């Protein structure tokens, strides 16, 4: 078994999965050794951002077996993203099979059990083929590439400092709810600026009123209130995180917390005792402070991970690594 996770960086593995769409039909999916693509320089994905992707992980269990977390949910969200981007749909079963095949072909690269290390799986679709005018591509490629990864935010799981971006990552009726490359390209300027200023990342506000927390560039936001409720923003322009969906379930059913999907005003953070970012890459990253318009709001849990965030972290990662019983059919053992 090779353990080579080096933070959240890409390392080439044995095989990638490729499937091509042409003349209205999908060809057969294949595993290939090269991770290089030869496509037309006039592809819609290169010029007009006709692209979408997913992110999930394969985990090494204590007994050595490999398991996936909520792969069907990623398949369904991928279909939504493909539809929005005017790209052909990949059937849920085809998506799951492609993920399974790619993971098994790269089983040697799955890090050992625990330590927040896993095999990150990146399914994606791109518009390819010669094209100049603004229209959907004549051809598409669906691919799955994997890489061993560790923590998204460097080091131990401890609270990080974040700032509030002056930029929007998505429009009120735009693409915020689908997982498309353009959202991420548009958020880079804010993220780079935040990191230059010494923050781990930045938080985006709602694009309509700029008064409410939406999410982080690559993760959802949640908080624990003084009266012990799990609160997370509700907005049409954020990604419906599968990790956050899992945390809502665990907060309610395992920790007995009331779950609120509502508004978190950036100028009214005193009611939160803990805050965090959650996502496949981020897992759960506690947020110790948020700086907005020169004012730094420090949460009570700013030095070490808060009590409830820690409980959620342990439950979530316990299920993902196969140490805690799967409550909802979230796990697929390969």
Catalytic residues: 179
Choice from 280, 283, 285, 291 touching ligand PLP (CB under 6 A): 280
Residue 219 interacts with ligand PLP (CB under 6 A)? yes
The count of residues interacting with ligand PLP (CB under 6 A) is 12
Of 182 and 279, nearer to ligand COI (C-beta) is 279
Residue 242 interacts with ligand PLP (CB under 6 A)? yes
Q: Which stretch binds ligand COI (CB under 6 A): 65-73, 88-96, 249-257, 276-284?
A: 276-284
| Contacts of the segment 21-28: beta carbons below 8 A, 24+ positions apart | 21/88, 21/139, 21/140, 21/141, 21/142, 22/138, 22/139, 26/88, 26/90, 26/94, 26/142
- Min. distance of Cβ 252 from ligand COI in angstroms? 23
Length of the chain: 334
Within 80-119, the residues that bind ligand PLP by CB under 6 A are none
Supply the DSSP string of 190-209, one letter for each residue: HHHHHHHTT-SEEEEEPTTT
Q: Which stretch binds ligand COI (CB under 6 A): 83-91, 253-261, 278-286, 321-329?
A: 278-286
Using CA atoms, how far apart are residues 262 and 225, in angstroms rounded to an integer?
12
Residue 241 interacts with ligand PLP (CB under 6 A)? yes
Using CA atoms, how far apart are residues 32 and 38, in angstroms rounded to an integer?
13
Choice from 281, 298, 304, 324 touching ligand COI (CB under 6 A): 281
Q: b vs e for 73-109, b when ≥16 Cβ sit within 10 Å of the residue's Cβ?
A: bbbebbbebbeebebbebebeebbebbbbbbebbbeb
Contacts to ligand PLP by CB under 6 A: 55, 215, 218-220, 239, 241-244, 279-280
Residues forming the site for ligand COI (CB under 6 A): 55, 184, 218, 279-281
């Amino acid at each position: 078994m090779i353990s080579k996770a080096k933070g959240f960086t890409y390392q080439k593995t044995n095989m990638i999965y490729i499937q091509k769409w042409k003349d209205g039909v999908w060809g057969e999916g294949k595993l290939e050794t090269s991770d290089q693509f030869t496509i037309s320089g006039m592809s819609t994905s290169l010029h007009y951002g006709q692209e979408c992707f997913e992110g999930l992980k394969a985990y090494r269990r204590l007994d050595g077996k490999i398991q996936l977390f909520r792969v069907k949910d990623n398949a369904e969200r991928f279909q939504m993203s493909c539809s929005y981007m005017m790209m052909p749909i990949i059937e849920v079963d085809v998506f799951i099979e492609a993920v399974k095949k790619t993971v098994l072909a790269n089983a040697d690269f799955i890090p050992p059990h625990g330590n927040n290390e896993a095999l990150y799986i990146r399914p994606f679709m791109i518009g390819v083929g010669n094209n100049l005018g603004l229209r959907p591509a004549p051809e598409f490629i669906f691919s799955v590439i994997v890489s061993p990864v560790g923590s998204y935010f460097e080091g131990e799981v401890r609270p990080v400092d974040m700032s509030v971006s002056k930029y929007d990552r998505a429009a009120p009726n735009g693409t915020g709810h689908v997982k498309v490359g353009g959202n991420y390209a548009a958020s880079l300027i804010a993220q780079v600026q935040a990191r230059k200023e010494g923050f781990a990342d930045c938080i985006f506000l709602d694009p309509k009123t700029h008064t409410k927390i939406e999410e982080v560039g690559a993760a959802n936001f949640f908080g624990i209130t003084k009266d012990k409720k799990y609160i997370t923003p509700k907005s049409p322009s954020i990604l419906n995180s599968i990790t956050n969906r899992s945390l809502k379930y665990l907060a309610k059913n395992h920790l007995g917390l009331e779950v609120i999907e509502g508004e978190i005003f950036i100028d009214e953070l005193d009611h939160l005792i803990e805050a965090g970012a959650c996502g496949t890459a981020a897992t759960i990253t506690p947020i110790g402070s948020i700086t907005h318009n020169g004012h730094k709001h420090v949460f009570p849990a700013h030095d070490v991970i808060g009590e409830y965030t820690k409980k959620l972290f342990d439950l979530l990662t316990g299920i993902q690594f196969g140490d805690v019983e799967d409550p909802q059919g979230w796990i697929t053992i390969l």
